Structure 1
Amino acid sequence: MSNDTNKPEPRKKISLGSKKLRGFFLSHLDKIYSAKAHLVNHLPTIKEEAHFADLKIAVRETIEDVERQMARMEVIYELLDSSPNNANCGGLAGLVDDAFEDIKKHAKENELRDMSIVFYLQNIESLEMASFQVLQMAAVKLRNKQIKQLLRENYDEAKADRTLLLLIGSKYIVSSTGS
């Protein structure tokens, strides 16, 4: 008698039908959009809490970038004949809320408060970059070059903001250790 229990099972192909893929895409687009709405509402306060002039400028530029990114995302919703839905964005919103707690904790210490702002904005930009990359991969299957391009622009902007924040953080550390 042969023992068929050792035979590997045939591999099942993963099928992301257009309906499933569209649902996944919109669900995650909603999460990022909701997180950006939460962020853009809080960034002006973060900008006011920043002490280092270059950091204030970077936060102002981030506000402008987030608003542009949200506008691009609204175009994507239109292309998909959809609209933004409030989504649970606990992870990204939690980072923003944690940043506020850290800012309050270091209210009287400019250097630590500014480093907290850099730390949290760096983390937020990194998560946004990863999110936009996954949505770009999904957009390939949606077969819409304009959606893919809009997501690419958002990714590039988040990457540029992250790089700017790294440079500012480095400059801040160098200038504060020399004092």
Structure 2
Amino acid sequence: MATKKTSPAKAKTSSTPKKNGSAKMENSKFHQLFMDELKDIYWAEKHLVKALPKMQKAATSEELANAIGEHLAVTKGQVSRIEEIFELLGAKAVAKKCEAMEGLVMEAQELMEEEEESAVLDAGLIIAAQKVEHYEIATYGSLRTLANIMGHTEVAHLLEQTLAEEKEADGLLTQIAESTVNEEALSE
């Protein structure tokens, strides 16, 4: 990894590379937006770690249950990756309640309470899970872009890894829906 040269006056900020090399960026509204969104997705991922086992248990399709279980393991890794990002930025890993994720998880919870075990429930779980994935894809894509603009290349790389995982999970959910679950739900 290339080391960024800094003047003695800026040595204090060398651990967080920035395009303009200015410590002012850390106090900028733009940087604060980035940090707020990072705290938001950190809360969201931690919340999902608690919600995914319930969705996995509710799934009647073995393929869907396995996919949710595998994504639970991936999500735990994403939580650790966000903690690594906070560390790279010299900040404490702090979560800020994500109203959007709370709402998406509540929708899934209501579905599980209202719908009997069936392929229709599985189809609904896939919809709920894809809503979550799409929210995460939007968030991680945006955070990666902001990190790149601020010159946080290592952070951007970590966010790109998570973005790829979320896109993969979304694709798998689509495949499960289209290969079996939707047809089974239609015939119920």
TM-score tier, shorter chain, comes to: 0.7 to 0.9
> Superposed, which structure 2 residues align to 1:7-156 within 5 Å?
18=25, 19-20=27-28, 21-106=30-115, 108-156=116-164
1:10 corresponding residue in structure 2: none
Task: Write the letter of the residue equivalent to 1:153.
Answer: Q
Q: Please tell me whether the aligned partners of residues 39 and 93 of structure 1 are also in contact (alpha carbons under 8 angstroms).
A: no
Mapped to 1, the partners of 2:58 and 2:137 lie a distance apart of: 25
Whose radius of gyration is greater, 1 or 2?
1
Alignment deviations for residues 24-83 of structure 1 (CA, whole Å, 9 cap, x no partner) = 111000101101111111111110110000000110111011111111111100001112
Mapped to 1, the partners of 2:124 and 2:185 lie a distance apart of: 15
Task: Write the letter of the residue equivalent to 1:173.
Answer: N
Task: Write the letter of the residue equivalent to 2:65.
Answer: K
Cα drift, residue 177 of structure 1: 4.8
Cα drift, residue 173 of structure 1: 1.7
Task: Write the letter of the residue equivalent to 1:125.
Answer: E
What's the RMSD between the two structures over aligned residues?
Answer: 1.5
Cα drift, residue 93 of structure 1: 1.3
Q: Please tell me whether the aligned partners of residues 30 and 85 of structure 1 are also in contact (alpha carbons under 8 angstroms).
A: yes
Mapped to 1, the partners of 2:174 and 2:117 lie a distance apart of: 20
TM-score by length of 1: 0.85
% identity of equivalent residues: 26
- In the alignment, structure 1 segments of 5+ residues that lack a partner are 1-16
Cα drift, residue 86 of structure 1: 2.8
1:8 corresponding residue in structure 2: none
Cα drift, residue 178 of structure 1: 6.6
1:168 corresponding residue in structure 2: 176
3-state SS of the aligned residue for 1:157?
Answer: helix
Q: How many residue pairs are counted as aligned between the two chains? A: 162
Cα drift, residue 109 of structure 1: 4.0
- In the alignment, structure 2 segments of 5+ residues that lack a partner are 1-23
Cα drift, residue 137 of structure 1: 1.1
Q: 1:56 to 1:67 in 2, by over 3 A?
A: same
Task: Write the letter of the residue equivalent to 1:134.
Answer: S
Q: Please tell me whether the aligned partners of residues 87 and 93 of structure 2 are also in contact (alpha carbons under 8 angstroms).
A: no
TM-score by length of 2: 0.81
Cα drift, residue 22 of structure 1: 2.1
